[in-house]
Structure formats: C-alpha cells, structure tokens
Amino acid sequence: MQDLLADLLKQATRRGATAADAFVVEDQSFSAQVRLGEVDTVKHAREQHMALRVFVGKSVAAASTSDLSAEAMTRLVDEAVSLARVTSPDELAGLPEASELARQVPDLGLRDPHGHDLPPEEKIELARRCEAAALGADARITNSEGGDFSDRRARYAYATSHGFSGAYETSSFSLAVSPVATENGEMQRDSWYHVTRRRERLDVPEEIGRIAARRAVRRLGARRVKTAEVPVIFDPEMAATLVRHIAGAASGPALYRRASFLVGKLGERIAAPSVTIVDDGTIPGALGSRPFDGEGLSVRRTVLVDQGVLRSYLLDTYTGRKLGLPSTHHAARDGSGVSVSTTNLHLAAGDQEPADLIRSVRNGLYVTELIGFGVNGVTGDYSRGAVGLWIENGELAYPVEEITVAGNLLDMLHGVEGVGNDLVFRDRTAAPTLLIGRMTVAGS
C-alpha cells in the first residue's frame, strides 16, 4: 500500500503538483443478524478506497477512486491536478511543515491477529446466544428486532510528498440485541451492545442479552410528567452525547466560520470545576486510537476542558491557520478531503457512585434515551425528546416518555453538580453518569 502511494505522489509531482498527499483504505467486514433464532441476514464485504489531494501553488483540489489499477491511478492524478489549476488560490492552504510530521508509527494494539478466524457459523451463534438470552430473561420479552454480530478489519496507509509514509491495521468486533417487551397491550423496545478491538474481550453474549431485556422491561408502564424545572441525570450513554456536542462546538471548522458558542472562549471558564473533557488518541487498544492523524502528525492526548476551563480547540492544519493557532493533530480523512475528528473523547470520571447521585435527587429525571437533533451549535440552545425514569425521593420510581429536556449547553455545563465514577469506553466517545442541577423537562 505504501509503495502504491509513493508511486501516486511521484506521478502528481511530475504532472505539476507542488505538494501532495494521499491515503488508501482497504477493509473487510462480516455481519450477521438473527431474529427469533433464525438467520435473517449475512453480509460479507471487501472495499477499497484511495484519495489524492494536490496543491498547485496555493490552489488545492482532491479526487478519489475505488479502482486501484494503474490506469485509474493515472486518471486520478490528471483529474486532481486539472481541478487544482482552475481552483482559486487560498493563502492558508498547504501541507503541515515537514518538521511537524510524525517520526515514528507506534503500535497501539489496534489489530486482533486471530479474532477474525472464527468460522461464520460460530459468529452467527454468538448473535443467536445474545438474542436467546434476551428472550429468556423475562416472560414479558415477547419479540425481538434481532441479535447482531459484526466484525471489521482495515488497513490504512498515508503518505505525503514531504516525506511521511505510515500504515497501520485495525480490528473491531461488536454484539448487539434489541428485544421487545409487552404488557397489557403496551410494547416497548430497547437494546444493548458491546464493541471492542479484540474478540476475546467481547462481553459474554448472555450478559448483553440480559441487560437489553432489563432495559426494555423497565420502560413498560411509561407515563408523561408535568412540565417542571428539575435536576436531570444523564446515564453514561446519554452523557456521552453531550460531550460530542461540546467537541463539535470546539471544532475548527465551526470556530473559524463563527458558528459555535465557544468562539473566543479559549482560556475562559465554561463549566463547573468537576468537568474535565479529554481527547486521547494514544490509549492502547481503544476504539478511537490511531498512531497518526490524517495529515501524518503524531496523535496525542489533548485536554479540551480542564476543571471547567476551556484549554484547547480541535484543529487540523488548515483550521489552525485560519484561527492563528497550531494544529492539535485532529485531522481526519473524509472521502477525498480533510476534516476534524476526535479519537477517544471522554468526560473524565468523578468520584461519586451513580447510586449516590440518584439518591441526591428528591424529584427529577434520569435520562436513558434521547430523540431528535434539537441542538443549536451557534447558540448552544438544547432541546431534545427524551425517555427515562422519574426519580422520587432519591429512587428510580417509574418510567417516563413523551417528554422534552431543554436548556443551554453552557448553562448545563456550569450547572453540573455531580460526575459519576463509572466511566467505561463503550464507543469512541464516553462519559460517566452526569447530574445537571436544573433543566426544563416539558411534558403534559
């Protein structure tokens, strides 16, 4: 793969590019869904994708292809260089300086060398066991939207005309199930899942199934509540969505377009002292880790918010130049272009037990699902449909639905009154249980 990229970059410079970079991805995936014990779908796919970005002076253009033949490579170069020649120049366009490029490509343990060897029948059986455990966990689990197993292995390579060349491989494995609970004519569904880099670290299928069943059953008998301003606790999965919104507002493209509520707030307090948000691409074996970013810069640990103070934005080379700041090594390749992306983004764990956070609330909401996209990245205004459990006298009392939680992200950050100690990386973005002192819960 790296030799292929080297040849491509030589062609680009011979045809007039003053600088260029390119990346290639090859991946192979398998997925299977079982529904009510029967195999519903099985898919196996192999894909490849190459993208080239060229600079002719200060003009830049990009092109991509899934055909890696020699003829396709020539067409790719011709197309990219021709586009660059008719593109308006941008004085800030360009690759990172050669001195900034990664000197080493560390092995972060992102590949499982043997996990993909499992026969398809055994992969399907994992999905079947997961669903069977959910169906057998409670008599009220009467149906299922399916148990799913998937795995993926990928090879990435990236090179620049400045001399960088690096490659790495990744693996991922996932199990999930979505059971349906029924009682007195009411139906409720929920789900649970696990994703990991190594197959042997997947949660036991039966445990995933039992958790999914409990989540579905606890939604039965859901009520609406009257509109009120109350404390709101976000479970870890839902707290992670708040962290994503903060990262989006701290992202270079939103900032230089002045489409973020965090414009001009670097160095200012934006949250309670208990809030620390970190993006760390160096964690061995983690789902978001990578040895270098989409421009060949070493990935590192970045503290966005340190005890409530905004310490860093998320920038690639171009957005950093637009803002007069250095890259934070957060470039990602998106199709043929470059975007800004997080790695292992998380709200740092606090020291409070989740049960203690619940006990501290006399009357409030525990959120287990959020619906819709009612978040304004410019103003920070936040309004989303929610499902969860009502808290009375420090206990989870009954399920609630058809409600909306509303506030403003900055007010919510300042209003954090408790951070749980239950941080677990179930995805690339993670958070512990989070208590916000007051939000509007709109119901009946």
Could you tell me if 110 and 197 are in contact, meaning their C-beta atoms sit under 8 angstroms apart? yes
Percent with pLDDT over 70 in the chain: 100
Average pLDDT of span 409-428: 98
Q: How far apart are CA 352 and CA 346, in angstroms?
A: 17
Domains, the chain, with CATH or none: 2-217 (3.30.2290.10), 228-241+349-442 (no CATH), 264-347 (no CATH)
Q: Is the pLDDT of residue 335 over 80?
A: no
Residue linked to tokens 């880099």: 197
Task: Tell me the pLDDT tens digit for each residue of 158-174.
Answer: 999 998 999 999 999 99
Task: Tell me the pLDDT tens digit for each residue of 71-119.
Answer: 999 999 999 999 999 999 999 999 999 999 999 999 999 999 999 999 9
Average pLDDT of span 37-54: 97
DSSP run (H or E) holding 382: strand 381-392
DSSP run (H or E) holding 30: strand 19-35
Q: How far apart are CA 169 and CA 105, in angstroms?
A: 12
Task: Tell me the pLDDT tens digit for each residue of 248-260.
Answer: 999 999 999 999 9
Helix, coil or strand: residue 266: coil
Q: How far apart are CA 420 and CA 435, in angstroms?
A: 8
209-225 as b/e: b if 16+ CB within 10 A: bbbbbbbbbbbbebeeb
Q: Rounded to whole angstroms, what are the CA distances from 170 to 112, 120, 175, 320, 373?
A: 7, 20, 17, 28, 31
Q: What is the DSSP string of 40-69?
A: EEEEEEEEEEEEEEEEETTEEEEEEES--S
Q: Are strands 429-430 and 345-347 parallel, antiparallel or unpaired?
A: parallel
Average pLDDT for the chain: 97
Could you tell me if 89 and 58 are in contact, meaning their C-beta atoms sit under 8 angstroms apart? yes
Please give the model's pTM, rounded to 2 decimal places: 0.95
Average pLDDT of span 293-310: 98
Helix, coil or strand: residue 403: strand
Q: What is the DSSP string of 193-235?
A: EEEESSGGGSPPHHHHHHHHHHHHHTTTT-B----EEEEEEE-
152-161 as b/e: b if 16+ CB within 10 A: bbbbbbbbbb
Residue 324: left (phi > 0), alpha (psi -120 to 50), or beta? left
Percent with pLDDT over 90 in the chain: 98
Position 444 scores a pLDDT of 83
Q: CA dihedral in degrees (40, 41, 42, 48; nearest 10)?
A: -170
Q: How far apart are CA 255 and CA 377, in angstroms?
A: 10
Give the chain's radius of gyration (CA, Å): 24
Average pLDDT of span 295-316: 98
